[in-house]
Amino acid sequence: MAALQYAETVQRITDTARIAATLAPLGVTLQAIPVTGAGVAALLTELQPDPEAQAALLTALDDVFRRLQRERGYQERDLVVLYPGHPQLAELTARFHRVHTHDDEEVRYIVDGEGVFGFVLEDGAQVELTVHAGDYVHIPAGVEHWFRLTDAQRIKAVRYFSARGGWTPHYTDRAMRSFPNP
Protein backbone atom coordinates (compact mmCIF):
# COMPACT_ATOMS: atom_id res chain seq x y z
CA MET A 1 0.00 0.00 0.00
CA ALA A 2 1.36 3.40 -0.97
CA ALA A 3 1.97 6.07 1.67
CA LEU A 4 2.46 9.83 1.30
CA GLN A 5 4.52 11.98 3.65
CA TYR A 6 5.00 15.75 3.71
CA ALA A 7 8.49 17.13 4.26
CA GLU A 8 9.55 17.85 7.80
CA THR A 9 6.63 15.95 9.37
CA VAL A 10 6.15 12.39 10.52
CA GLN A 11 2.51 12.25 9.43
CA ARG A 12 1.92 9.56 6.79
CA ILE A 13 -1.20 9.41 4.63
CA THR A 14 -2.25 5.96 3.46
CA ASP A 15 -5.78 6.78 2.32
CA THR A 16 -5.66 6.41 -1.46
CA ALA A 17 -8.31 9.10 -2.04
CA ARG A 18 -6.29 11.66 -0.04
CA ILE A 19 -3.08 10.66 -1.82
CA ALA A 20 -4.80 11.03 -5.19
CA ALA A 21 -6.22 14.44 -4.23
CA THR A 22 -2.79 15.69 -3.15
CA LEU A 23 -1.07 14.56 -6.36
CA ALA A 24 -3.91 15.39 -8.81
CA PRO A 25 -2.94 19.05 -9.37
CA LEU A 26 0.40 17.78 -10.73
CA GLY A 27 -1.32 15.24 -12.96
CA VAL A 28 0.44 12.42 -11.10
CA THR A 29 -1.65 9.27 -10.84
CA LEU A 30 -1.28 6.24 -8.63
CA GLN A 31 -3.12 3.04 -9.43
CA ALA A 32 -3.13 -0.41 -7.87
CA ILE A 33 -2.47 -3.19 -10.39
CA PRO A 34 -2.07 -6.64 -8.84
CA VAL A 35 1.17 -8.37 -9.79
CA THR A 36 -0.13 -11.57 -11.33
CA GLY A 37 0.53 -13.80 -14.29
CA ALA A 38 1.79 -17.25 -15.15
CA GLY A 39 4.99 -17.89 -13.23
CA VAL A 40 5.37 -14.32 -11.93
CA ALA A 41 5.77 -15.30 -8.27
CA ALA A 42 8.63 -17.69 -9.07
CA LEU A 43 10.38 -15.10 -11.26
CA LEU A 44 10.19 -12.47 -8.53
CA THR A 45 12.09 -14.61 -6.03
CA GLU A 46 15.39 -14.05 -7.85
CA LEU A 47 17.32 -11.13 -6.35
CA GLN A 48 19.48 -10.73 -9.47
CA PRO A 49 17.52 -12.17 -12.40
CA ASP A 50 19.61 -12.76 -15.50
CA PRO A 51 18.48 -11.25 -18.84
CA GLU A 52 16.54 -14.40 -19.72
CA ALA A 53 14.62 -14.32 -16.42
CA GLN A 54 13.96 -10.59 -16.86
CA ALA A 55 12.54 -11.20 -20.34
CA ALA A 56 10.39 -14.03 -18.94
CA LEU A 57 9.06 -11.70 -16.22
CA LEU A 58 8.15 -9.02 -18.77
CA THR A 59 6.41 -11.65 -20.90
CA ALA A 60 4.49 -12.90 -17.86
CA LEU A 61 3.25 -9.33 -17.34
CA ASP A 62 2.16 -8.89 -20.97
CA ASP A 63 -1.50 -8.35 -20.04
CA VAL A 64 -0.59 -5.11 -18.25
CA PHE A 65 1.61 -3.98 -21.16
CA ARG A 66 -1.08 -4.67 -23.76
CA ARG A 67 -3.66 -2.76 -21.74
CA LEU A 68 -1.33 0.22 -21.32
CA GLN A 69 -0.50 0.15 -25.03
CA ARG A 70 -4.21 0.49 -25.83
CA GLU A 71 -4.88 3.13 -23.18
CA ARG A 72 -1.70 5.24 -23.41
CA GLY A 73 0.13 4.19 -26.56
CA TYR A 74 3.28 2.85 -24.91
CA GLN A 75 5.62 1.21 -27.41
CA GLU A 76 8.40 -0.20 -25.25
CA ARG A 77 9.13 -1.40 -21.75
CA ASP A 78 12.03 -2.60 -19.71
CA LEU A 79 12.72 -3.87 -16.23
CA VAL A 80 14.78 -2.05 -13.65
CA VAL A 81 16.25 -4.31 -11.00
CA LEU A 82 18.11 -2.75 -8.07
CA TYR A 83 19.34 -4.61 -5.01
CA PRO A 84 22.01 -4.36 -2.31
CA GLY A 85 25.33 -5.10 -3.95
CA HIS A 86 24.24 -4.00 -7.45
CA PRO A 87 27.48 -2.85 -9.13
CA GLN A 88 26.01 0.55 -10.12
CA LEU A 89 23.65 1.09 -7.18
CA ALA A 90 25.37 4.20 -5.80
CA GLU A 91 25.67 5.81 -9.24
CA LEU A 92 22.07 5.10 -10.23
CA THR A 93 20.55 6.23 -6.96
CA ALA A 94 22.60 9.44 -6.92
CA ARG A 95 21.48 10.25 -10.47
CA PHE A 96 17.78 10.32 -9.61
CA HIS A 97 17.89 11.45 -5.98
CA ARG A 98 17.99 15.10 -7.06
CA VAL A 99 15.03 17.23 -8.05
CA HIS A 100 14.58 16.94 -11.82
CA THR A 101 12.05 16.90 -14.64
CA HIS A 102 11.77 14.96 -17.91
CA ASP A 103 10.58 15.94 -21.38
CA ASP A 104 8.39 12.82 -21.47
CA GLU A 105 6.19 11.17 -18.89
CA GLU A 106 7.77 8.77 -16.39
CA VAL A 107 5.86 5.58 -15.75
CA ARG A 108 6.71 2.78 -13.34
CA TYR A 109 4.87 -0.36 -12.35
CA ILE A 110 6.42 -1.71 -9.16
CA VAL A 111 6.41 -5.51 -9.24
CA ASP A 112 8.68 -6.23 -6.26
CA GLY A 113 10.33 -4.30 -3.45
CA GLU A 114 9.72 -0.63 -2.76
CA GLY A 115 10.89 2.85 -3.60
CA VAL A 116 10.10 6.50 -2.97
CA PHE A 117 9.07 9.19 -5.45
CA GLY A 118 9.31 12.76 -4.22
CA PHE A 119 7.30 15.63 -5.69
CA VAL A 120 7.28 19.42 -5.50
CA LEU A 121 3.65 20.51 -5.17
CA GLU A 122 2.27 23.64 -6.82
CA ASP A 123 2.61 25.64 -3.57
CA GLY A 124 6.27 24.58 -3.20
CA ALA A 125 5.56 21.99 -0.51
CA GLN A 126 7.36 18.69 -0.94
CA VAL A 127 5.97 15.20 -0.47
CA GLU A 128 7.33 11.69 -0.80
CA LEU A 129 5.26 8.78 -2.04
CA THR A 130 6.44 5.34 -0.94
CA VAL A 131 5.40 2.70 -3.48
CA HIS A 132 5.32 -1.08 -3.20
CA ALA A 133 4.63 -4.09 -5.40
CA GLY A 134 1.38 -3.54 -7.28
CA ASP A 135 1.66 0.26 -7.42
CA TYR A 136 1.60 1.90 -10.86
CA VAL A 137 2.79 5.52 -10.95
CA HIS A 138 2.36 7.94 -13.87
CA ILE A 139 4.30 11.22 -13.69
CA PRO A 140 3.59 13.72 -16.50
CA ALA A 141 6.38 15.50 -18.35
CA GLY A 142 7.70 18.60 -16.62
CA VAL A 143 6.77 17.60 -13.05
CA GLU A 144 9.53 18.28 -10.53
CA HIS A 145 10.31 15.01 -8.79
CA TRP A 146 13.03 12.66 -7.54
CA PHE A 147 13.39 8.99 -6.78
CA ARG A 148 15.20 7.08 -4.09
CA LEU A 149 15.26 3.60 -2.67
CA THR A 150 14.08 2.75 0.82
CA ASP A 151 16.48 1.28 3.36
CA ALA A 152 15.77 -2.18 1.88
CA GLN A 153 17.51 -1.01 -1.35
CA ARG A 154 15.50 -3.47 -3.42
CA ILE A 155 13.07 -2.84 -6.25
CA LYS A 156 11.92 -4.39 -9.50
CA ALA A 157 9.98 -1.94 -11.64
CA VAL A 158 8.70 -2.08 -15.19
CA ARG A 159 9.20 1.19 -17.06
CA TYR A 160 6.89 1.99 -19.98
CA PHE A 161 7.94 4.32 -22.79
CA SER A 162 6.26 6.25 -25.54
CA ALA A 163 9.63 7.85 -26.39
CA ARG A 164 12.98 6.77 -24.89
CA GLY A 165 14.80 10.08 -25.31
CA GLY A 166 12.47 11.93 -22.96
CA TRP A 167 13.81 10.29 -19.83
CA THR A 168 16.95 12.39 -19.60
CA PRO A 169 16.84 14.16 -16.22
CA HIS A 170 16.86 17.97 -16.27
CA TYR A 171 18.03 18.98 -12.80
CA THR A 172 16.29 22.00 -11.29
CA ASP A 173 18.75 22.53 -8.42
CA ARG A 174 15.80 22.95 -6.05
CA ALA A 175 16.83 21.86 -2.56
CA MET A 176 15.06 18.83 -1.16
CA ARG A 177 13.63 19.23 2.28
CA SER A 178 14.11 16.77 5.13
CA PHE A 179 11.85 13.72 5.40
CA PRO A 180 12.13 12.10 8.82
CA ASN A 181 11.32 8.42 9.27
CA PRO A 182 7.92 8.06 10.94
Name the binding residues for Fe(2+). Answer: 100, 102, 106, 145
Annotation: binding site for Ni(2+): 100, 102, 106, 145
Burial class from Cβ neighbours inside 10 Å (0-12, 13-18, 19+) for residue 15 reads exposed
How far apart (Å, rounded) are the C-alpha atoms in residues 98 and 46? 29
Looking only at the bridges linking them, the beta strands covering 76-82 and 100-101 are unpaired
Annotation: binding site: 100, 102, 106, 145
Kindly list the distances between the CA atom of residue 164 and the CA atoms of 60, 103, 169, in Å, as whole numbers in the listed order: 23, 10, 12
